[in-house]
Amino acid sequence: MTGFNVDDDLVRKLAALLEDTGLSEIEYAKGEESIRVSRAATGVVSAAMAGAPPVSAAAGSDAQSGSHPGAVTAPMVGTVYLSPEPGAAAFVSLGDMVIEGQTLLLIEAMKTYNPVRATRAGKVVRILVMDTAPVEYGEELIILE
């Protein structure tokens, strides 16, 4: 990222906007450069900057997961939670058999926890997101076979 200058005032303004609106994440782009400020699960505000599109947590781990027919995708932008509450067991684990409509994880958006359900019955073969990670609309979360 050579040549990318951090605008401290912009980061502060975006962080203040997060606080004022109660949003968990905000992104600002101008040309090829973008800045994303998100609130971590602990309430700390962090900033990520890039001159290219963001890379998901599982990027590079499996090039085949790009358009898998068993992919369960994020229906909204938000923060993923793999268990119903901190310290509880995950909704699903690798190798679990699930039925259509079963809750796989939660996505928190605007202080509301939304269940993401299995679109079909199958076996959980990949979990592509980490707990408390931010996700984008349409991002692949879990692969079922």
Q: What would the two tokens of residue 66 be?
A: 């790009």
Q: In CATH, which of 3.10.129.10, 3.10.20.310, 3.90.10.10, 2.40.50.100 is domain 66-144?
A: 2.40.50.100
Alpha helices in 36-113 (DSSP H): none
Q: What would the two tokens of residue 138 be?
A: 């349409």
Q: What would the two tokens of residue 40 be?
A: 């971590």
pLDDT at 39 (0 to 100): 64
pLDDT at 140 (0 to 100): 92
The arrangement of strands across the sheet holding 112-117 comes to 112-117, 103-109, 78-81, 134-135
Report the run of H or E that residue 20 belongs to, with start and end: helix 8-21
Instruction: State how far Cα 71 lies from the chain centre.
Output: 15
pLDDT at 18 (0 to 100): 72
Q: Along the 145 residues of the chain, how does pLDDT read in single tens digits?
A: 455 567 778 878 877 777 777 777 777 777 777 777 776 544 434 444 444 344 333 333 343 335 778 899 999 999 999 999 888 999 999 999 999 999 999 999 988 999 999 999 999 999 999 999 999 998 999 999 9
pLDDT at 80 (0 to 100): 95
Q: What would the two tokens of residue 124 be?
A: 């959980």
pLDDT at 44 (0 to 100): 39
